[in-house]
């Protein structure tokens, strides 16, 4: 994954292409970045963002959230292999505890997540490959196609399994190879559905779901701000 850059379209995104056969029912194993929970149960930590984590993140002085307004989380999640793994995430301090509570519910429900790690600055300018599937929160970037800051830039939004839950605006699909997952009638593991465990977990903490938007439709997206 991530090895074949896509040609760019006039909008600056990768050219949307059919989903490769191997990804139509995506269930790739998790590559562990942090040790899995020793107990096999849900475990979590909440603390200030360590300097080494901040330096490998997308944070920069122009970001709308200062480092002391952010928190570094580690949380257990169930992979598509059915095993417990440990992910990492940066979120705003005001929502750290409720985010942990939402992911504890997902863990208890056995909702599978492929990857959960802090996004690096180099990824923002890297050529698109259209196959990313990182569940993440803080990314210091503007709203897609706009200049105003995204809720992600303050750690107040989370994208969950982006490949299984793509963003769609007119002909644009992100990730660009995830078109197969626009068919929401075909229920596959890792997909977010109204009334399912993911929507329920985030609505319980007062967050809104981009899958209810009309244009764009952002199925992966949950936010504390409504945007």
Q: What is the mean pLDDT of residues 94-122?
A: 98
Average pLDDT over residues 20-42: 96
Interhelix angle 197-204/96-109, nearest 10 degrees: 150
The rounded percent of the chain whose pLDDT value lies above 70 is 99
Mean pLDDT throughout 196-214? Answer: 97
Both tokens of residue 94? 């005001």
22 contact partners, CB below 8 Å, separation of at least 6: none
Kindly state the tokens that stand for 38. Answer: 């020793």
Whole-angstrom distance, CA of residue 124 vs CA of residue 102 = 27
Q: Which of 96-110, 144-158, 179-193 has the lowest mean pLDDT?
A: 144-158
Residues 6+ away with beta carbon under 8 Å from 158? 89, 91, 99, 135, 136, 137, 202, 221, 222, 223
CB 178 within 8 A of CB 190: no
Residue partners of 92: CB distance under 8 A and separation at least 6: 65, 69, 70, 71, 138, 154, 155, 156, 224
Where do the domains of the chain lie?
31-223
Over 90: is that where the pLDDT of 5 sits?
yes
pLDDT (tens digit, 9 = 90+) per residue, 35-61? 999 999 999 999 999 999 999 999 999
The mean pLDDT value of the chain amounts to 95
pLDDT of residue 1 exceeding 70, the answer is no
pLDDT-based confidence at residue 142 (cuts at 50, 70, 90): confident
Q: Is residue 101 a contact partner of residue 188, using CB atoms and an 8 Å limit?
A: no
* Burial classification of residue 82, based on how many CB atoms lie within 10 Å of its CB (0-12 exposed, 13-18 middle, 19 or more buried): exposed
Q: What would the mean pLDDT of 101-108 be, rounded to a whole number?
A: 98
């Amino acid at each position: 994954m991530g090895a074949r850059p896509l040609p760019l379209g006039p909008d600056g995104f990768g050219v949307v292409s059919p989903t490769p056969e191997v990804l139509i029912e995506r269930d790739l194993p998790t590559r562990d970045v942090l040790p899995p929970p020793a107990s096999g149960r849900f475990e979590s930590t909440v603390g200030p963002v360590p300097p080494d984590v901040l330096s490998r993140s997308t944070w920069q002085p122009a970001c709308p959230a200062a480092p002391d307004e952010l928190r570094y989380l580690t949380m257990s999640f169930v992979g598509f292999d059915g095993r417990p793994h440990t992910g990492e995430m940066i979120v705003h301090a005001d929502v750290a505890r409720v985010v942990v509570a939402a992911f504890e519910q997902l863990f208890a429900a056995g909702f599978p997540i492929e990857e959960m790690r802090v996004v690096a600055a180099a990824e923002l300018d890297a050529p698109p490959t259209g196959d990313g599937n990182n569940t993440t929160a803080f990314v210091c970037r503007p709203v897609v196609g706009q200049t105003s800051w995204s809720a992600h830039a303050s750690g107040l939004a989370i994208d969950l399994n982006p490949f299984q839950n793509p963003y769609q605006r007119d002909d644009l699909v992100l990730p660009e190879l995830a078109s197969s997952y626009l068919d929401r009638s075909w229920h596959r593991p890792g997909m977010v559905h109204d009334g399912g465990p993911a929507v329920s977990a985030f609505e319980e903490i007062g967050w809104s779901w981009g899958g209810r938007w009309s244009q764009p439709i952002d199925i992966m997206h949950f936010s504390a701000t409504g945007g």
